[in-house]
Amino acid sequence: MRLKALILSLVFAVLPLMAVHAEATGSWTEVGFEFNNGNGYWCIGAANDQVMVAFGSMGDGQGGTSPVTRRSINGGVSWSPVTLPTFGGFYTIISDIQMINENLGYAAGGELGMTGTLVGPMYKITNKGANWEVLPSPIDSICMGSKIFCLPDGLNCWVTCDSGYIIHTYDGGTNFNVYTVPNTELNAGPIHFINENEGWAAFYKTETIDNGDGTSHTNLLDEGTIYHTTNGGSTWETLVEEELLEYTDIQFIDSNVGYLTADDGGYAYVLKTTDGGHNWDDTGIMKDLPVGSDPSKYPKLFYLAGIEFFDANRGWAVGSYGEPEGSIMNTPALYYTENGGDSWAIFPTSLQDGSAGHGGTFTDVDFLDEHMGFAVADMMLLVKYDDGQYIPPDPPVDGDSDGDWDGEGEAPGPEYTGALGEPCPVPGMNRSDTHDYPRCDAGQGSEFCVFNSDISYCSQTCQADANCPGEWKKVCCRPLTINGESQNVCVFDEEMCADSELLAGEWYSYNGQVVGETCDPEDKPPCDEHFGGDFCVATSSPFCSQMCDDDSDCQGGFTAGCCNGKSGSTVFCQFGAVCNPEPEDGDEDSVTDGDYEESIPDGDDYVVDGDVMADGDQGNAAEGSGGSCNGSASLPSIFVMLSAAAAIVFNRRRK
């Protein structure tokens, strides 16, 4: 039986819910959620439970959206921006990420310009996600990478591209093979290999239809095709074709058993084969997944972000219920099976029946092993599965003792946790060497971060040397002039402890959120008095701000700001893309009509000393919620112009 015929017979079939079995004893918990129109993760690659890299879009609060690449070295609790190499294009899209270890990974994507894709389709990631290198393109007509798969050796990687291309590196990105599947008119889909020779790739076909009103929509065509190779990709055999399916993920356990996730533009499915991909319905394993006890809350499983199987029987499928344009109003769906997909159970999580606006459309999933996994969604939602049995791998070994981890970036330094005496990030200075340090942790005795132009560390007040515990460095209690006031603090520097003249001069410290960072309007005062500004701007994404006369007054935090926020006669700092919006009315200034009175009504009152603004619509976040992370209505004009190219990443959102 052909796949789409079977789909039609199962569209309204619903399996009964089953209890979750003992093997899946962990739980899914929320790690992060950043509510702002336009925010969203598109893909994630995790090296271990601490180091991970993600790509997505970030809303600027004024209706614009920009791509963003981030990395975390503390399990997703906090993130640092990553600057990707650029070659004069408009922006870079990363569509898929796979981390081999914490110092080596690869990504599929490319940089878009006026003439098309400028560089791509493969990137190499090193140094805990901090360094990105565009690998040389092996073809003259550069293609945008869609999906990537690498073997654990970190040498063999395959990337799928449109026009039927499959790019293969067999030595970690130095040399490449270029292959094509038989049908070069298809959209690139997922790819998977079980060794350096045998693999499978799934392609599909869409068309863009002009609506006649300046907008367009995308239709899925019945040209979905699955290919198989036994020689590393040199030649590809067609296994299945002419299916009305868009494939999102593929995984094979061995030469016979494999799984696919796909959707037909309305419903999503898990497919299984037991004969190497020739047939995907001979065992009857192609099921609508259960929709829960209340169908009104789970109207339709429309998208599956991916699957992760640990053997032929045990695995996860991660998707979303709702409507393709519903975004955060959709319901996350986390499924587990122990019998190879014969039956599935919705895994318990508070996200299923959470408060409105706290759901999400899952976009990617990455499991480290059966004990630990991550999934990402709209609004920068990051959830983690953990059963308490995950064992982190040993760090890579510098085999030739040359200090560069065998070419995989610089050897990482110590793992800091924000404990007393450890380095901390410095706000308001050109100290890029500190940006990876964690904030000081009060739970570990760190009251604040103290710093000057040369050194920074987590410290606390003291009366004598005995009040300064720790073995990090020589510890002593000394008077310092901090933020213009003299106070005794713990000093963690042997030379400074021995020579008081080295302690002279101005020192600074902070112990709360600094200007430009998020804040809690209900916690007064929510911002550090020295670097957090005068008040917390109460938008949907509150941020610490201060009154200003020019842009130089807004540079004291970790993020550069601009002096263009207005509330009545008060001018205050704003941050992010709102500081450089595109003019829409031909004015010389950077803001339409030269002001922000349209978004911040005059006459709104606020009080400095930690009080918040009254009406909730000021600052750098638009009112309301919803919207997709790639919705063209919220993108800057250049994003709209190139939205068709961006559809390679997220064409699940069809009308």
Using H for helix, E for strand and C for coil, what is the string for 8-30?
Answer: HHHCCCCCCCCCCCCCCCCEEEE
> pTM to 2 decimals?
0.62
By the 8 A CB rule, do 196 and 157 touch? Answer: no
- How many Å apart are CA 127 and CA 73, to the nearest integer? 11
What's residue 289's pLDDT? 58
The answer to whether residue 506 sits within a structural domain is no
Q: What are phi and psi for residue 574, nearest 5 degrees? A: -125, 165
The answer to whether residue 139 sits within a structural domain is yes
For 608, the 3-state DSSP assignment is coil
Query: Domain containing 610: what range?
Result: 535-635
What's residue 268's pLDDT? 85
Question: Which of 18, 14, 4 lies closest to 281, judged by CA?
Answer: 4
What's the number of CA atoms in the CB half-sphere (13 Å) around residue 143? 22
By the 8 A CB rule, do 481 and 506 touch? Answer: yes
What's residue 16's pLDDT? 30
Task: Compute CA distances 319 → 13, 114, 220, 271, 362, whole Å.
Answer: 18, 34, 19, 14, 6
Write down how long the chain is: 655
Instruction: Name the pairing type of β-strands 157-161 and 145-150.
Output: antiparallel
The answer to whether residue 647 sits within a structural domain is no
By the 8 A CB rule, do 238 and 225 touch? Answer: yes
- Give the number of other Cβ atoms within 10 Å of residue 380's Cβ: 25
Residue entry with tokens 């190779």: 229
Q: What is the Cα 267 distance to its own chain's centre? A: 25
Residue entry with tokens 């702002």: 36
What's residue 239's pLDDT? 96
Looking at 386, 412, 441, the residue that finishes a domain is 386
- How many Å apart are CA 278 and CA 553, to the nearest integer? 65
Burial 458-494 (b: 16+ CB within 10 A, else e): bbbebeeeeebebebbbbbbbebebbeeeeebbbbbe
What's residue 297's pLDDT? 54
For 204, the 3-state DSSP assignment is strand
Per the DSSP assignment, residues forming a β-bridge with 383 are: 30, 375
Instruction: Report the domain count for the chain.
Output: 2
What's residue 299's pLDDT? 58
Task: Compute CA distances 511 → 382, 447, 496, whole Å.
Answer: 27, 7, 23
What's residue 180's pLDDT? 94
On the 0-12 / 13-18 / 19+ scale of CB atoms within 10 A, 417 is middle
What's residue 446's pLDDT? 86
What's residue 645's pLDDT? 34
The answer to whether residue 40 sits within a structural domain is yes
Looking at 336, 353, 386, the residue that finishes a domain is 386
DSSP characters over 463-502: SSGGG---SSS--EEEEEEETTEEEEEEE--HHHHH-GGG
The answer to whether residue 553 sits within a structural domain is yes
- Mean pLDDT by groups of 10 residues along the chain of 655 residues: 35 31 73 82 95 90 82 88 87 95 94 85 93 90 92 95 93 93 94 97 92 85 95 96 93 96 85 92 46 55 89 91 65 86 75 53 93 91 92 69 46 71 83 77 86 88 82 77 91 84 90 86 79 83 89 83 87 83 48 35 34 30 29 28 34 30
The answer to whether residue 448 sits within a structural domain is no
Per the DSSP assignment, residues forming a β-bridge with 27 are: 386
Residue entry with tokens 């804040």: 519
- How many Å apart are CA 429 and CA 452, to the nearest integer? 10
Looking at 386, 402, 422, the residue that finishes a domain is 386
The answer to whether residue 298 sits within a structural domain is yes
Q: List, for residues 509-551, the tens digit of each pLDDT value.
A: 998 888 888 888 887 777 888 888 888 888 878 888 989 999 8
What's residue 281's pLDDT? 67
Task: Compute CA distances 205 → 8, 244, 370, whole Å.
Answer: 19, 9, 33
Question: Which of 418, 416, 432, 413 lies closest to 558, judged by CA?
Answer: 432
- How many Å apart are CA 484 and CA 487, to the nearest integer? 10
- How many Å apart are CA 90 and CA 635, to the nearest integer? 13
- Give the number of other Cβ atoms within 10 Å of residue 551's Cβ: 14
- How many Å apart are CA 419 and CA 416, to the nearest integer? 7
Residue 603 structure tokens:
């006459």
By the 8 A CB rule, do 51 and 71 touch? Answer: yes
What's residue 558's pLDDT? 82
- How many Å apart are CA 297 and CA 230, to the nearest integer? 45
The answer to whether residue 237 sits within a structural domain is yes
- Measured CA angle at 591 (ends 640, 595), to 5 deg: 145
Q: What is the CATH number of the domain that holds 178?
A: 2.130.10.10
